[in-house]
Structure 1
Amino acid sequence: MLFLGVDAGGSTCRARIQNAAGRVLGEGQAGPANARIGAARVAQAVMAACRAALAAAGLNESALAGMAAGMGVAGIERGGARQALRRALPAFRHLAVASDGEIAHWGAHGGADGGTVIVGTGSVALATVGGRQRRIGGYGFPVSDAGSGAAIGLAAMRAALEARDGLVAASALSEDVLARFGGDIAAVIAWLDAAGATEFAALAPLVVAHAEKGDRQADRILATAASDVGRLARALLDWGAPKVALVGGLAPALAPRLDAAIQDYLAPPQADPLAGAIVLARRGISTE
């Protein structure tokens, strides 16, 4: 049997096909797939990523029916989202669905005890210790998702507008953010009216790039994000997690900024979220 893993996140959707021996046959990628955009659009992104993976593996779409699939979807905890997604994906006969945070956690520790803080478009902290599980955060932007790409992007936009109003000193970062809108405040307001977590998170790489160039405003934003992530990691350690893995697109930028007391307990992830999705697929087929 072949196994399919899907990581449907707020910024990208990735798919991987591998055989029973663990050899990767093909991978693919598509656009955002957070459950908040609706089951139909998530299904479109999932199928686009799967078709790319199928093409890389030299397989046609009919092969999906015979695969054991594991899928981690951002925001899948929303009421009815899991059932709606299953209905929107009739091509799959063997499908196990979890959150994107859960597959990242399983991939990071290979099923063993440990804690994981995921920092991508959103953020969430998960731990497994002696069969017990703990989850912290992940309730959605802007109320939750501390230290995430969306939170960093929001802070960058706020700083840019405060600099425009003369409340704080301008910096290369604030000027760069406003330059994206041609300096037109009406365009900024229109963007703010429609922007969600994905759109704000798209500003996070800009913050990281300016911080690397020594921009103090950008560095303060990342320091705040790292402090928030450190609080999540500390809560997992206090709960009993022996180690904590920091995963997600912002992990490389935030890990060096964590307190030394937290860094002492950091462990590199064993594998990526797609590996965790494959674990889910294997578990799902074993319970059918």
Structure 2
Amino acid sequence: MALAAYRFDGEARVPRYYLGVDGGGTNCRVRLADEALVTLGEATGGRSNLQIEAGEPAYRSILEGAEAAFAQAGLPASAMAETACVFGMAGGRLPSAREAFAERDWPFAALEVFDDIDIARAGAHGGEDGAVIIVGTGSAGMAIIDGVRHQVGGWGFHIGDQMSGAILGRELVRRAVEAEDGLVPGSGLTRAVIDRLGGSLDAVMDWSFQDRRPADYGALMPLLFDHFELDDPIASELMALEMSYIDLYVKWFQARGATRLAAVGGLGTRLYPQLIARYGEFIVPPAHEPLHGALIMARQIFGRA
């Protein structure tokens, strides 16, 4: 929705409230804030990936979460008409998906829909220039450099997500199977994976045929880190593979003039010791979480007459 359409009583005005949404594949977080971005209410809803059922579950999750946040703040539902929103949505890589979602019937004064990495970057750098990588079940990268937006990756488990826990977990299962077959040397980690997935190659194959999702592979990351801390050779080999993928992204950002990079996501957070050791001062901690990044963006976009 364009800013020009954002009017009260025929007069363009700054919104009284801002609503930020961090729409993930597993759950949806909604936060209501005042003009100073002080939290007034917050709620958590169901899954909200735009690629699931054409965004219908996400639509319901946001509306239910918004109602709960306004109620928590002691505000009537009519206050939604004085509220500007930014949604950062999983599955929002495709412009057509974001545009279709924005055109739904919303009760808010104004809104814009972004990919989830946009709000992650805004939160990580407080709305200022900088780069971010999301390294969780999936992975992607994005930067704002001298006001120009640069995005890379985020194409999903089947054709991308090189840095992700899902891809690393799938490679871990592959190595465990090869080791159990006697094709390559095994380790405590590969044996632990076989045990986790049923105790035999037959059981692992059966597990793999059960419509496995990226999160099923990503769930093996704690096991990998536990063995990495024990100097397990396969864990070290896979960590080196992970860092080689991150190298590609770091070089891509630096070639475009980025001077700082933050990492978010469960795997990204756990990688901070390795990231700092490898890239030094180029790595910075996130200033804020992605949900606050959505509020920062809402005020940047709509917080002017």
Q: Report the TM-score when normalising by structure 2.
A: 0.80
1:205, 1:47 → 2: CA distance?
Answer: 34
User: What does residue range 1-288 of structure 1 map to in structure 2 within 5 Å?
Assistant: 1-38=16-53, 39-47=55-63, 49-50=65-66, 53-54=69-70, 56-58=72-74, 63-78=79-94, 80-86=96-102, 90-183=106-199, 184-191=203-210, 194-258=211-275, 260=277, 262-286=279-303
Partner SS, residue 236 of structure 1: helix
Pick the structure with greater CA Rg: 2
- For 2:253, the aligned partner's letter is L
The answer to whether the Cα contact below 8 Å between 2:225 and 2:235 also exists between their aligned partners in 1 is: yes
List per-residue Cα deviations over 1:73-115 (Å, max 9, x = no partner).
1221336312332355634442211111111111122232222
2:225, 2:76 → 1: CA distance?
Answer: 40
Aligned pairs, how many?
Answer: 286
The answer to whether the Cα contact below 8 Å between 1:6 and 1:72 also exists between their aligned partners in 2 is: yes
2:276, 2:117 → 1: CA distance?
Answer: 23
1:89, 1:203 → 2: CA distance?
Answer: 40
Change (3 A) 1:148 1:70: same
2:223, 2:42 → 1: CA distance?
Answer: 28
- For 2:216, the aligned partner's letter is E
- For 1:188, the aligned partner's letter is W
1:82, 1:270 → 2: CA distance?
Answer: 26
Change (3 A) 1:152 1:44: farther
The answer to whether the Cα contact below 8 Å between 1:34 and 1:74 also exists between their aligned partners in 2 is: yes
2:286, 2:220 → 1: CA distance?
Answer: 26
1:171, 1:62 → 2: CA distance?
Answer: 61
2:230, 2:68 → 1: CA distance?
Answer: 36
List per-residue Cα deviations over 1:160-215 (Å, max 9, x = no partner).
32233222344443344344443324531323xx2233333233333233333443
Q: Which moved more, 1:87-96 or 1:136-145?
A: 87-96
The answer to whether the Cα contact below 8 Å between 1:125 and 1:136 also exists between their aligned partners in 2 is: yes
Q: Report the TM-score when normalising by structure 1.
A: 0.84
Q: Which moved more, 1:149-158 or 1:171-180?
A: 171-180
Change (3 A) 1:119 1:51: farther
Q: Which moved more, 1:134-143 or 1:195-204?
A: 195-204
Gapped runs of 5+ residues in structure 2? 1-15
Partner SS, residue 35 of structure 1: coil
Among the aligned pairs, what percent are the same residue?
A: 37
